[in-house]
Amino acid sequence: MTRYSALSLLSQGVRGHRGWRPAWAKTHRPKPAYDAVIVGGGGHGLATAYYLAKTHGLSRVAVLEKGWIGGGNTGRNTTAVRSNYFYPESVALYDLALRLYEGLSKELNYNIMLSQRGMLIAAHTPAQMEICARIANAMQLNGVDGHLMTAAEAKARIPLLNQTRDARFALMGGVWQGRAGVARHDAVAWGYARAASALGVDIIENCTVTGIETQAGAVCGVQTNLGPIRTGRLGLAAAGATPGLAAMVGASLPIHTYALQAFVSEPVKPMLDTVLLYLGTGTYVSQSDKGELVFGGGLDRVPTHGQRGNLPAQETVVSGLLEMFPAFAQLKLLRQWAGVVDVVPDSSPVIGPLGPKGMFVNCGWGTGGFKAIPAGGWLLAHLLATGTHHTISRPFDIDRFTTGRLIDEAAGSGIAH
Amino acid sequence: MQQFPCPFCGLREETEFHFAAEAGKPRPEPAAQVSADRWAAYLYLSAAPKGEAHEIWVHRSCGEFFLMTRNTETRAVLATQALPGRAGE
């Protein structure tokens, strides 16, 4: 692997950039057996493979991706990273991800373009302000940066916000997390793929799992369109496709699949330097480095596996954005798309063993999986390598639905899921 | 906008409807003998099928629950029918 540096850029520059090698090695035929197989070549699956090789020293690891790497929700989200959650279990999980993100460009030798520009959850009523104060207090008690922001501070931060007398939602303030921000989503997938590949991980695209083989209650391999692969350790990190994989061994998950849409406008000059979630409209928005406005909102309310959005959700999100920023009405939309998200009743992920011995899942991230990629990979790798939970993933085991210890972040943090 | 056929009101816009649950999950009885595992499975586990799905929806305008068979990939509606004991169109 060529190390990326200012020097390598300079030396390639004087040679017309003709000497760059592919960032990772494509494997077209899987080997007959691996120490661990991960199904799903998105951020979570690739990060799992990287930490398995790097932290746990497993050398024979394969990532099976039915399409192309990073082509699912990793490449379809609105790139926000944050850890402004309510429950201690959630903060431990999402802040592990944020801390790993903070060092990731250096760790992977790949610029993930992390920009910690801060995020405001904006409130418009006294009741919402009380919820915001509750979140800010919880964040501080959990040792994460965050504070309650006044209306004056918020207006100074985002001067373009509609605060005329006829604005539907007057700004009262909100919760601010300064370490939140955005990262280049494709770069996260590509960076993990490159680093994992350099450690010997096989990344196999266009490889669909068609069956899971078990023997005496333990995983012994998978069937794929490229032939059978033997393995005793299987990790599933396939978001909305995970229930279908689990069904191959008769296991079920507490997951419904919905389409979540995202939108990008034409590029304009810099005018929004934070990530903003408006509780009034449920729309969130940031501006990319290229100048495009990247925004989204709530789920389409129709369970689906099709990666397309419906019109009512588009109308809600776009009209919400225009209520917040009337000036944006002049912009054209460049693109609109959808990803299939795996939504769990308590809006927290499912991480842990499922079904036969040796099989583990990392799914149920719903609308918020991108921000958690390094933690999801870290924790699934720990499970695959040791067979036991990391203390951070233990509360997210599927057994919480039997014991009743749900981690209900949808209600607890006031986040639009 | 997609339209769904309510068995009582006919074709209406999708925003008038709400997905309630996957169909065909009998409530385990009697409650005193139901284990925590079975109860959790009844409450929370779902199939989230890709392709043909049998679901219970509610038409919020008339308040009736009904069965809908849909394709979750193409979003095509294959059939709707009133729940047993409720007279449809």
| DSSP for A182-246, written as a single string | E--HHHHHHHHHHHHHHTT-EEE-S--EEEEEEETTEEEEEEETTEEEE-S-EEE--GGGHHHHH
Task: Give the span between the Cα atoms of A260 and A85, in whole angstroms.
Answer: 20
CA distance A32 to B1: 48
Nearest-CB residue to A303 (from B43, B44, B72): B72
- pLDDT averaged per 10 residues, chain A (length 417): 91 93 94 98 98 96 97 95 93 96 97 97 93 93 94 94 88 95 97 97 98 97 98 97 97 96 96 94 94 94 92 94 94 95 95 98 95 98 98 98 92 53
pLDDT at residue B21 greater than cutoff 60: yes
CB-CB contact of A307 with A338 (8 Å): yes
Nearest alpha-carbon partner for A374 in A106, A145, A135: A106
- Average pLDDT over chain B reads 94
**Nearest residue on chain B to A256, alpha-carbon basis:** B48
| A280 Cβ contact partners less than 8 Å away, ≥ 6 residues apart | A122, A124, A168, A169, A320, A323
Rg for chain A, CA atoms, rounded: 21
Q: Would you state the pLDDT for residue A412? A: 55
CA-CA distance, A336 to A380, in Å (whole number)?
32
For tokens 């729940």, name the residue: B83
Do the beta carbons of residue A340 and residue A214 sit within 8 Å? no
Contact yes or no for B46 and A305 at CB 8 A = no
Q: In the prediction, which pLDDT does B87 show?
A: 74
3-class DSSP state of A275: strand
Residues in chain B: 89
Listed in order, the ranges of chain A carrying CATH 3.50.50.60 are 23-83+85-110+185-254+346-412
pLDDT value of residue A411: 57
Query: What residues of chain B lie within 8 A of the CB of A256, using their CB?
Result: 19, 46, 48
Q: Which residue has the tokens 């040679």?
A: A15
User: Which of B2, B44, B48 minimises the CB distance to A310?
Assistant: B2
Topology of domain A23-83+85-110+185-254+346-412 in CATH is FAD/NAD(P)-binding domain (3.50.50)
Shortest distance between the Cα of B19 and any Cα of chain A, in A, equals: 7
Cα–Cα distance measured from residue A47 to residue B4, given in angstroms and rounded to the nearest whole number? 41
Nearest CA in chain A to B1: A311
Interchain CB distance below 8 Å, A256 and B46: yes
Amino acid at A147: H
Q: Which residues contact residue A133 at a Cβ distance below 8 angstroms, ignoring those fewer than 6 apart? A: A148
Residue owning tokens 């919820």: A131
Could you tell me where the DSSP H helices lie in B1-89? 36-44
Contact A174, A121 (CB under 8 A): yes
CATH 3.30.9.10 in chain A is located at 119-181+256-343
Which CATH code for domain B3-82?
Answer: 3.30.2270.10
Is there a contact between B48 and A345 if contact means CB atoms under 8 Å apart?
no
Contact (CB<8Å) B48/A303: yes
Does B72 sit within 8 Å of A304, measured CB to CB? yes
CATH tag, A119-181+256-343: 3.30.9.10
DSSP helix, strand, coil percent of chain B (3-state; round to 5)? 15, 40, 40
**Residue closest to A71 by CA, chosen among A90, A46, A53:** A46
Q: Which two tokens stand for residue B81?
A: 């029918």
Nearest chain B residue to A340 by CA: give it.
B73
Phi first, then psi, for residue B17 (nearest 5°) are -110, 155
Model ipTM value: 0.94
Contacts of B47 in chain A (CB under 8 A): 243, 247, 252
Which pLDDT does position A337 carry in this prediction? 96
Q: What is the pLDDT of residue A415?
A: 53
CB within 8 Å: B36 and A403: yes
| pLDDT for A166 | 85
Q: What percent of chain B has pLDDT over 70?
A: 98
* Interface residues on A facing B, Cβ-Cβ cutoff 8 A: 240-241, 243-244, 247, 252-257, 301-306, 310-312, 342, 345, 401-403
Distance from CA of B32 to the nearest CA of A (A): 16
- Which of B3, B50, B54, B69 would best serve as a mutation to test chain A binding (most A beta carbons within 10 A)? B50
For B75, the closest chain A residue by CA position comes to A304
* Band of residue B88 on the pLDDT scale cut at 50, 70, 90: low
At residue B85's C-alpha, the angle toward residues B83 and B89, to 5°, is 65
- Answer whether A402 sits within 8 Å of B36, measured CB to CB: yes
Residue B80 DSSP SS3: strand
- Number of Cβ within a 10 Å radius of residue A270: 8
Q: CB–CB of A312 and B43 under 8 A? A: no
The CA distance from A305 to the nearest CA of chain B, in Å, is 5
Q: Least CB-CB distance to A301: which of B19, B46, B55?
A: B19
Across the interface, whether the CB atoms of A402 and B37 are under 8 A apart is answered yes
